Chains A and B, each alone.
Chain A
């Protein structure tokens, strides 16, 4: 039986600026078992990345996590840790890879140095041994001629290569949880599949739990165990991948699924969602999806719908179900 590795309860994260409070994440609750994969799906700006950064506690200075939120990792509340303790969690337990491999690596250090530095944090290898380890890691993520490549600077590598370097860096920490924030968005289509494949393989080998953040439901379909669909800072539907694709409940999820092109599908045209996410500074009293929802009626504007368990293990936040 797998144990719960991460449990996020009622996470609220807001940004504060001149123009007021932006409620980027509003009451996100999710849990993840050891070695499993959770997909977080939604449009850009829906709070996926902020959720990830909240877990890592790497938010910018103008962001605040509400005191009622809890982020339990192996039973310990990360929000109660000191900065130094949290730093150790980041170094040894939870790793993260980012959307833009172009900017996520420091341009003035060699990639070997940047990986070695991470490695050094949790092992007392000598410099020479550490470098051997770096070469092994690079080979592991499929970089050929690794011995030569460690002397390269980030700008000398292609986008896909850099993402591999970032993955190697994350792996060097030997984490139990890996948060991958749109790891393939900035890459060519052919490279995307390779990188996702690499992540899956490494997961199976090392028993890592993964949170895979993406805006592309197609990516999620084959590779994750559970899916959380986010809209405007909240989770609107949560289910196993199978359930979600077979019987999507929330109108937003349906709209997202409609937007995926299907091979051999009869549909002549793809349905794209009209409109955009309302500003997160002034939230409506009722359902936040109201404006864009095809099945909305007057009841929807009276109160915000709660996330309820509609079927076993399948949650949705919509009063019409």
Chain B
């Protein structure tokens, strides 16, 4: 059977759309690395400062040799070029900390746990925020909407690191029911598979809760506004006029239009989520990329920092691309033009 010509044309349009998007994202990627590289490298102070502060034997001559060795004597645009060339081969240089390992290796081993926590968190954020948003939009200006709004503001205003400490205190110190740091117990290796699972869950539930909490307010608020927007459209009156039940009007006609913009939020929320990781991974002693960044920043480990920036940017852009694909698949106005 021949494929329908319409479908073929459709696929071509889709491909066009996505290649255009990918090109835009590539430009953005260069922009991000450019901005980050220049900001970090033009800030007064050098990587060698950290070493010389800690090491009184470091003479100016030794410092100059070290700078030459790291290529710090060259002008900044040349350094950016060299750096970019190396990055294309996934070579971010070695960590400047005492272990001197390749920066990329350090990130690679810490990435899974951060991604795991954030993915689970994103799942729950949507699971909770979308119904909250729908509910307050449908019941706009009712008492429950007003209470939800107040709760959302509390969510916005909440310093999550403080909430993390309070929860640590309540569950770890006071009730003593949850572990407050790390990702596994000391006896982890001796546990059965099921026990391992429960052990990890117990360790991760506070960090995940904090991450979810941090984004809940924003996403539910956004969902509320897109839902309200959708409900005020004329096609909703049409849907009601033909006698559809209220649940069909809300959950079919309005929701389908309202979730589309929310899809795009996933991509944009990645930098925020990973920033949050810096704080909660530090508080809960979770060996992820957030904690690594904290340590790298503390020790001015430039190569690791830039590798982290690139890693987060790539994740963000990937998130954007996925969101665009999702959007294009869900919205016929983009899919079929």
Contacts and interface: CB of A to CB of B under 8 A. Distances in A.
A213 B246 CA distance: 26
A108 B332 CA distance: 6
Contacts of A121: 242-244
B256 A108 contact: yes
- Interface of B, secondary structure class, is helix
B234 A98 contact: yes
A173 B243 contact: yes
A98 B237 contact: yes
B241 A109 contact: no
Contacts of A169: 238, 242
Interface in A80-135: 83, 87-92, 95-96, 98, 100, 103-110, 117-118, 121
A121 to B, nearest CB: 5
Contact of B243 (A91, A98, A104, A156): A91
Given A58-B237, A100-B234, A166-B238, A107 B244 contact: no
Contact of A108 (B242, B245, B248, B330): B330
B332 A90 contact: no
A56 interface: yes
Given A108-B331, A118-B242, 8 more contacts: A92-B243, A95-B242, A106-B238, A107-B332, A108-B256, A117-B242, A155-B333, A169-B238
Interface string B245-261: 11010000100110010
10 contacts: A91-B242, A91-B244, A95-B241, A98-B237, A98-B238, A103-B233, A104-B234, A104-B238, A106-B238, A117-B242
A105 B240 CA distance: 12
Given A104-B238, A105-B238, A88 B243 contact: yes
Interface residues of B, number: 23
Contacts of B246: 83, 87
B242 A173 contact: yes
A231 B248 CA distance: 37
Contacts of A173: 242-243
A218 to B, nearest CB: 26
A98 to B, nearest CB: 6
B134 to A, nearest CB: 16
A289 B242 CA distance: 37
A117 B244 contact: yes
B241 A58 contact: yes
Nearest to A108: B256
A105 B241 CA distance: 12
A170 B242 contact: yes
A153 B238 contact: no
